[in-house]
Chain A
Amino acid sequence: METVKLTIDNKHIEVPKGTTILQAAKQAGINIPSLCYMNLPHLDQEHKPGSCRVCLVEIPGKRTLVPACVIKCTEGMEVLTHSMRALNARRTVVELLLSDHPKDCLICPSSGNCELQKLSITMGIREISTVEHAAVSTYRKDASPALLRDMDKCVMCRSCETVCNEIQTVGALSAINRGFMAVVAPAFEQDLTDSPCTFCGQCVAVCPTGALTAVDNTSHVMRALADPNKYVVVQTAPAVRVALGEEFGYQPGTPVTGKMVAALRALGFNKVYDTDFAADLTIMEEGSELLDRITRYLNGDKSVRLPILTSCCPAWVNFFETNYPDMLDVPSTARSPQQMFGSIAKTYMADKLGVKRENMVVVSVMPCIAKKYECQREEFKVDGDPDVDYSLTTRELAHLIKIGNIDFQSLKDEDYDRHMGESTGAAVIFGATGGVIEAAARTAYELFTGKKLEKVDFEELRGLEGIRTATVDFNGTPIHIGIAHTLGNARKLLDGIKQGMYNFHAIEIMACPGGCIGGAGQPLHRGTDVALKARMAALYKEDFNMPIRKSHENSEIIELYEKFLGKPLSEKSHKLLHTHYFSHPKQ
């Protein structure tokens, strides 16, 4: 490999030809601040519009300062990253960015998580000398059921645009207009709700400021908790337990399940249940549907639609309703675990507890922003009352615990409440890409072959590659499985199927990178995949340590079918646990 030698701040270094100054400095342990630069190596996406000019560095002898994120290293180059000239220029750049930026940092939803705020603090900016009476942007705010778009706070880094168009191929957002009028918006400046936005929220996950944020439901939940007439139950998704700790100083991938349950109880929730229970239930329904379709297909029924697609991910559901309205009969009709939980909680569990439906409030804690939209869908309401009332993100739960003045680290581990709190290893891995289909395979194998599955781990289904394919042996019958995460990869896989490139029986799709562990409601990682890998490893470890690792062996699930539902795909199951899809072609 051809290399070049250069000095950065008098440090001699050698880097491969084509390396940018920013990358070279990073290798040499020198930090150059940046704002618009975004590197997502696990998604093979480097975003460097060179627009913010925060990474300016000095090259002695050169007339102008240069942006380190785009300028490539050359032989013998000398770079100064903290000369007075560079420092002053960077400071001016940040002052100019702040000049028309709202100064309501104290109450901004991104306060404490804002890259612009961090730069301002680091640079010690206490007044903005460049512009005294600059106009502050006043663009209308766009509120959807899941996302908020406040373009007054946009710094035009356009990271959201790259994620929305290149990684997710959703194409809801683009930079429009120019100069001071420039904002990021859907076509014709329509609202996000009317655009092809899937509410996956990956734009929120990369937004360096408070321009794109998630709808905050903490105050609604606090009001419900304070109401003596309300019986408030909570469910926590599998991916939350391995990420929540990051908000309290734990290393990524530290499971904090017991402390989380204790914290929720301390906050005053009447019952603390596990979405994992509903994940096991999902496997019972979705796995049975998969078996039914495969069996009918193998028996020669040509009307069967294969492959079956998973339907747990609400952003993915929005994506196919918008982009593949001709394929609405292909995905499984099983509702997502969040919705199955809500439906069972407000029927079976409400009865068991002697609580009236109208007095029960179901809260979910999800790694996801799209879940906020999902729980508001009309088909998941009974006479206007939603099965799941409020969905919180992992970040919101962390806030709630802090608001509640609870010392998280000193909490003693507690266990979930019974009857909707037991779960298996199969449910835990729902949080990682490939996990749902692995869980389904464990159950489907035993139901299909009637034999005991000896090797529970399907390693061939795991990993972080964007599109994975594997064949699982069902006692002589090969079952072809496809897996995709990110909506861009989902599109590739679906277009491939349309063109007859693949021949799958079942496909799992998750909208976010890495699956739910990389959800937009998780503690923010902006660009690194270290947290993602750690969270994933933690989930598989939890699964490995579980005494029961197959959904159909969950004793509370067995009890639920015996006492309430009958059997999978029964009439009652169809009414409570299945759904249908709508055609929403949008541009």
Chain B
Amino acid sequence: MKKFELNDCHKKTIKEICESFGNKRSELINILHTTQEHFGYLPESVQLEIALNLKISLASVYGVVTFYSFFTMIPKGKYPISVCLGTACYVRGAEKIVETLEKELKIKVGQVTEDGKFSLDCLRCIGACGLAPVMMIGEEVHGRLEPEMISDIIKKYE
């Protein structure tokens, strides 16, 4: 994956986020939260910029990023895929769906495709148990899935 390089505009955004929290060390979690909302993830260059703004070590920023599972250093794809692994979906074969997706996209859960189009994650119950097994691609819900259907669904997004 290509390294994310910051331009002046990115740097300005990060500076403003840090300033909005008073450049305080104690606000690091909130700053990371807001920054991730903006960039979608927290690549190395973004963490370094935050460390420089707050005058703390890069290691300590990285320490917080790796401690909380909410923070991610991997970008989401253009079309984030979330497969439901809730009880209903699970018993109706959600695991097979995940396996097929992994094979089809050539990535593992938690990763993003080389071209940045798709990322694959799992979640617990989206409240559509009647359609089990289900997955979401972006905001769209796909239900009553069979492994054979996956390839066609993905093609629609390419």
Chain A contact residues, CB within 8 Å of chain B: 165, 170-178, 185-188, 195-196, 587
Does B130 have its Cβ within 8 Å of any Cβ on chain A?
no
- Interfacial chain A residues near B66, Cβ < 8 Å: 176-178
Out of B44, B48, B59, name the residue touching A174 (CB < 8 Å).
Answer: B59
- Contact indicator per residue, chain B 38-80, by CB within 8 Å of chain A (1) or not (0): 0000001001100100001111111100110000000000000
Q: Which residues on B sit within 8 Å (CB–CB) of A175?
A: 63, 67
A176–B67 touching, CB < 8 Å:
yes
B115 to chain A, nearest CB (A): 24
- A171 contacts B56, C-beta separation under 8 Å: yes
The CA-CA distance from A408 to B62 in the complex, in Å, is: 48
Q: How far is the CA of A174 from the CA of B62 in the complex (A)?
A: 8
Q: A176 to chain B: which residues have CB within 8 Å?
A: 59, 62-63, 66-67
| B61 cross-chain contacts in A, Cβ below 8 A | 187
- List 13 other contacts, CB 8 Å, given A186-B59, A587-B51: A165-B56, A170-B57, A171-B56, A171-B57, A172-B59, A176-B63, A176-B66, A185-B59, A187-B58, A195-B59, A587-B48, A587-B57, A587-B58
- Chain B, 74-100, CB within 8 A of any chain A CB: none
- CB pair A187–B62 under 8 Å, yes or no, is yes
The total number of A-B Cβ pairs within 8 Å is 45
**Do A178 and B60 form a contact, CB below 8 Å, given A187-B47, A188-B44?**
no
Interface size on B, residues (CB 8 A): 14
Chain A residues closer than 8 Å to B48, beta-carbon distance? 587
Q: What are the residues of chain A within 8 A of B60 when measuring CB–CB?
A: 165, 171, 174
Kindly provide the distance from the CB of A179 to the nearest chain B CB, expressed in whole angstroms. 10
Known: A172-B57, A174-B57, A587-B48. A188 touches B63 (CB 8 A): no
Q: How far is the CA of A170 from the CA of B59 in the complex (A)?
A: 10
Contact B59 A187 (CB under 8 A): yes
Tell me, in angstroms, the Cα distance from A186 to B59 when the chains sit together.
5
Q: Please, which residue of chain B has its CB at the minimum distance from the CB of A169?
A: B57
CB distance from A316 to the nearest CB of B (A): 18
Select from chain B the residue with minimum beta-carbon distance to A170. Answer: B57
**Docked complex Cα distance between A165 and B44 (Å):** 20
- The CA of A178 and the CA of B58, in the complex, are separated in Å by 18
User: How long is the Cα–Cα vector from A518 to B57 in the complex, in angstroms?
Assistant: 25
How many Å from the CB of A258 to the closest CB on chain B? 45
- How many angstroms between the C-alpha atoms of A177 and B69 in the bound complex? 9
B59 CB → nearest A CB, Å: 4
Minimal beta-carbon separation of B54 from chain A (angstroms): 12
Can you report 14 residue pairs joining A to B where beta carbons are below 8 Å apart? A165-B56, A170-B57, A171-B60, A173-B59, A176-B67, A177-B66, A177-B67, A178-B66, A185-B59, A187-B47, A187-B58, A188-B44, A195-B59, A587-B48
List B contacts of A177 (CB < 8 A).
66-67
Smallest distance from the beta carbon of B63 to chain A beta carbons, Å? Answer: 4
Contact A171 B59 (CB under 8 A): yes
Instruction: Name the residue of chain A whose CB is nearest to the CB of B68.
Output: A178
Please tell me if the beta carbons of A174 and B51 are within 8 angstroms of each other in the complex.
no
**Distance of A321 Cα from B12 Cα, bound (Å):** 28
B57 nearest in chain A by CB position: A171
Chain A neighbourhood of B58, CB < 8 A: 171, 187, 587
What's the least CB distance linking B152 to chain A, in Å?
39
